[in-house]
Amino acid sequence: MTQTRAGLPTLDPANPFAEDAWNTPYGLPPFERIAPEHYRPAFEAAIAAHEAEIAAITGNGAAPRFDDTVAAMERAGLALDRVAGVFYNLTGSHTNPELQAIEREIGPRLARHGSAIYLNADLWARISAVDAEAEDLDAEERRVLARYRTRFRRAGADLAPEAKARMAEIAARLSELGTRFSQNLLADESGFVLPLTGEEDLAGLPPFLRAAAASAAEERGGGHGHVVTLSRSLIEPFLVFSTRRDLRERAYEAWIRRGQSGGETDNRAIIREIVQLRAERARLLGYESFAHYKLDDTMAATPEAATALLSEVWAPAQKRAGAERDRLQAIVGAEGGNFALEAHDWRHYAEKLRRAEHDLDEGEIKAYLPLDGMIEAAFDTAARLFGLAFEELPAVPRYHPDVRVWRVTDADGSEVGLFLGDYFARASKRSGAWMSAFRSQERLNGAVTPVIVNVMNFAKAPPGETALLSFDDARTLFHEFGHALHGLLSDVTYPLLSGTSVSGDFVELPSQLYEHWLEQPEVLRRHARHHRTGEAMPEDLLRKLLAARSFNQGFATVEYTASAIVDMTLHLSSEGEGGLDVLAFEAEALKRVAMPAEIGMRHRSPHFAHIFSGDGYAAGYYSYLWSEVLDADAFDAFREAGDIFDPETAARLRRYVYGAGNLRDPREAYTLFRGRLPSTGPLLRKRGLAA
């Protein structure tokens, strides 16, 4: 990297990030040419360029106007967005030690850079002085201006200089801690395997699970014929089917103890400091707690509103879970088991109960849910709702051989964007499932079409075999594709408002709503087909599958809600300052709500990446339930129209939800779609918890 005459660093021409535009199909990143050593200089050059762009805005001697201040900020930082977009997508989905080292360095650097912008007094003065009335700004321009003002205030723009300096220190430290949390978790997940060394260890495992365990062993180096890893798509079915109670216990203990090994990957001290720093930041901004700070800019608005929803759902879920436990314990007794049901037993006996009550076999279902068929089902649903078409592109750049790419077009043939699907678990990928963007939609800097990626962790089948999904896996695929559509269908001018850049408790509406179509007989009859014969799922199996939708919902609701309660309780406190023992805090919080001993939290604190890898879902894990109130009510709009693909309802949904980004307050957006705000009734009915 050298210096230009203007004093700004310029990149070596051999660095792919030195190119103004990539000469690749659809402008995709040239993944095969980008090496780890390209990132540090690319980040430094892009940060310097962004700093110069901000300096040009603040140095403008003219009276502040929207275009030379707010729109100028939206036009700034594009080079940094491009570098960060590639880098952070890869650190989540296909990382390595070199990328992790850079991530540890660059996270705090980017946090300090962001703080320098949002705590810049001259920049804040210009944004504050923009007069929407005098300039007769349109609705989108007013929304961008309002969102910038909110962002600046929440970052500390109104604070005294000493407090601003402390806010910047906190932001940098939190970035460092979040990166360490994520990397520790990935190390624990990728470092564990449970070898299954003989037929006895494989007892109870159906063919699809044996094949997945063999594929996992091959991916981990082939030292064992079969292994269980800590990928959710492998460990959960192992807990369902294995008849070896001792192995189920070992696998489950490894699963719940991620992040608390006592060694260098232990996350407990990191959590203590994160909670303390978040509480301090909230106090600096005048909030009672981090939860009050976080929810002040959400649809819920207050922790009390979110907690009230959690409480409303907890009581019926707890009651139903108790009844479920009693039925499972009865099976244990009937089989001669002289033990009390424990958390590592629940899934195993729940599957037995499901077979008894619904004559439903998970293995039989999976045969009709091949991955390709479920991808096609998600695409076909988007075609019938929104007129989209998908064309797979076999010869375009991709960051891993497993990644697939589709060109997405609208009903009139115009290009919507590119969709990337990265479906299989691997050691270089963090756990979970998510949607992200290599490039987000906007029009301010030209007609920018989005490049959206869905990342999953499904078990990969052995070579020549078909990857089969559980119904929960298929639901995850639909969920993340709902997020993808939120990014693909975005129709805004300003980058700040694009796609999923919405309130934290509104962002799950498009994803959770999309799950509903998977459960419709019309969709399953069309796409649930046997992976070998191509025959449609038999009607009696389809009926049994749909009849069992609310089966085990006491368990599912309790394990989720318990995590949301602990998240909210942690962030309502300032316990970090008193030497927080997070496991003791967690246990006490669960004791207060009488958590059933036989059910574990969906995410225990030391591996709760949603809330500790970054601030995204911190004091916000409740948002899945909040959004579920919306999605249950929203799907009723299609039922009331008498057609789950009703064109008029779908058009409103696209205009006010999937395509609208953050153009409006979420309450206004939902009301424009539905005509009113929702109630919790449809949610309780959907989960089978209604009285």
pLDDT band at residue 2 using 50, 70 and 90 as cut-offs: low
What are the angstrom distances between the C-alpha of 331 and each of 341, 346, 555, 613?
Answer: 10, 11, 17, 40
> In 214-269, at which residue ranges do the beta strands (DSSP E only) sit?
227-228
Of 116, 120, 104, 112, nearest to 169 by C-alpha is: 112
Model confidence at 394: pLDDT above 80: yes
For residues 107-128, average pLDDT: 98
What pLDDT does 576 receive?
53
Q: CB-based burial of residue 413 (10 Å sphere; 0-12 exposed, 13-18 middle, 19+ buried)?
A: exposed
User: Does residue 260 surpass a pLDDT of 60?
Assistant: yes
Q: Which of 655, 570, 651 is nearest to 611 (CA)?
A: 570
Dist CA 659 CA 569 (whole Å): 34
Query: What span, in angstroms and rounded, lies between the C-alpha atoms of 591 and 593?
Result: 5
**Given pLDDT bands bounded at 50, 70 and 90, which one contains residue 222?**
confident
pLDDT, tens digit, for every residue of 168-202? 999 999 999 999 999 999 999 999 999 999 999 99
Instruction: Decide the pairing of beta strands 415-424 and 404-409.
Output: antiparallel
Q: State both tokens at 105.
A: 């360095």
- Average pLDDT on 473-493 reads 98
pLDDT in the model for residue 632: 95
Mean pLDDT value of segment 634-648 = 97
- Contact between 94 and 399 under an 8 Å Cβ cutoff? The reply is yes
Quick one: pLDDT at residue 5?
40
Distance of alpha carbon 409 from alpha carbon 43, whole angstroms: 33
DSSP annotation of 64 reads P
The answer to whether 17 touches 11, Cβ cutoff 8 Å, is: yes
The helix/strand/coil state of 297 is: coil
263: buried, middle or exposed (CB in 10 Å: 19+, 13-18, 0-12)?
exposed
pLDDT exceeds 80 at position 578: no
- Over range 343-372, report the average pLDDT: 95
Q: Residue 688, by phi and psi: left (phi above 0), alpha (psi -120 to 50) or beta?
A: left
Q: Which residues on neighbouring strands pair with residue 420, listed in sequence order? A: 405, 453
Q: Which residues pair with 213 in a beta bridge?
A: none
Residue 535 CB burial class (10 angstroms; 0-12, 13-18, ≥19): exposed
Contacts of 62 (CB under 8 A, 6+ apart): 68
Give the position of tokens 């296909």. Answer: 94
CB atoms within 10 A of CB 588: 12
For residue 185, the 8-state DSSP code is: H
Place of tokens 């403008």: 60
Rounded to an integer, the average pLDDT of 593-605 is 97
What percentage of the chain carries pLDDT values higher than 70?
A: 98
Interval 437-461 mean pLDDT: 95
Sign of CA dihedral 519, 521, 525, 529: positive
Non-local (6+) Cβ contacts of 87 within 8 A are 39, 43, 99, 102, 103, 106
CA distance 506 to 511: 10
Enter the DSSP assignment of 662. T
224 pLDDT tier (thresholds 50, 70, 90): confident
Asked whether 396 and 28 are in contact (CB, 8 A), the reply is yes
**Quick check: 586 and 604 in contact, CB under 8 A?**
yes
146, 496 in Cβ contact below 8 A?
no
Q: Looking at residue 1, what DSSP letter applies?
A: -
Is position 480 annotated as part of the catalytic site? yes
Tokens of 502: 């919405």
Q: How far apart are CA 158 and CA 152, in angstroms?
A: 8
More confident residue, 684 or 180: 180
* Nearest alpha-carbon partner for 67 in 499, 665, 494, 664: 494
CB 429 within 8 A of CB 411: no
Reading the block at residue 488, the tokens are 């693909």
Domains of the chain by start residue, with CATH: 2-158 (1.10.1370.40), 192-256 (no CATH), 268-360+552-621 (1.10.1370.10), 371-547+625-686 (1.10.1370.40)
Terminal C-alpha separation, the chain: 67
Three-state secondary structure readout of 336-360: CCCCCCCHHHHHHHHHHHHHHHHCC
**Do 603 and 566 touch, CB atoms closer than 8 A?**
no
Q: E strand or H helix at 58, and its extent?
A: helix 39-58
pLDDT of the residue at 575: 58
Taking residues 468-489, report their average pLDDT: 97
CA 350 to chain centre: 27
DSSP bridge partners of 202: none
Say which DSSP state 455 is in.
Answer: E
How does pLDDT run across 653-680, given as a tens digit for each residue?
999 999 999 999 999 999 999 999 998 9
CB 227 within 8 A of CB 235: no
Q: Please determine, for residue 361, whether its predicted confidence score (pLDDT) is greater than 90.
A: no
Q: How many whole angstroms separate alpha carbon 185 and alpha carbon 607?
A: 6
Q: Is the dihedral of CA 247, 253, 256, 258 positive or negative?
A: negative
Residue whose pair of structure tokens reads 């998908």 in the numeric block:
390
The pTM score is 0.95
How much is the pLDDT for 219?
A: 86
Q: Order across the sheet with 415-424: list the strands.
A: 389-392, 404-409, 415-424, 451-458, 434-439
Residue 489 has pLDDT above 70, yes or no: yes
Rounded to the nearest integer, the mean pLDDT of the chain is 95
Give me the sign of the Cα torsion angle 568, 573, 576, 579.
Answer: negative
- Contact of 562 with 622, CB cutoff 8 Å: no
**Of 189, 480, 508, 628, catalytic:** 480
The two structure tokens encoding residue 324: 């479920």
CA torsion sign, 14 to 18 to 23 to 24? positive
Cβ-based neighbour number of residue 133 at 10 Å: 7
**Between the CA of residue 431 and those of 234, 440, 511, what are the distances in Å?**
11, 24, 19
Confidence of residue 249 (pLDDT cuts 50, 70, 90): very high
pLDDT above 80 for 108: yes
Task: For residue range 35-73, list pLDDT tens digits in order.
Answer: 999 999 999 999 999 999 999 999 999 999 999 999 999
Mean pLDDT of 518-543: 97
Dihedral-angle region of residue 326 (phi above 0 means left; psi in -120 to 50 means alpha; beta otherwise): alpha
Say which amino acid occupies 395: A
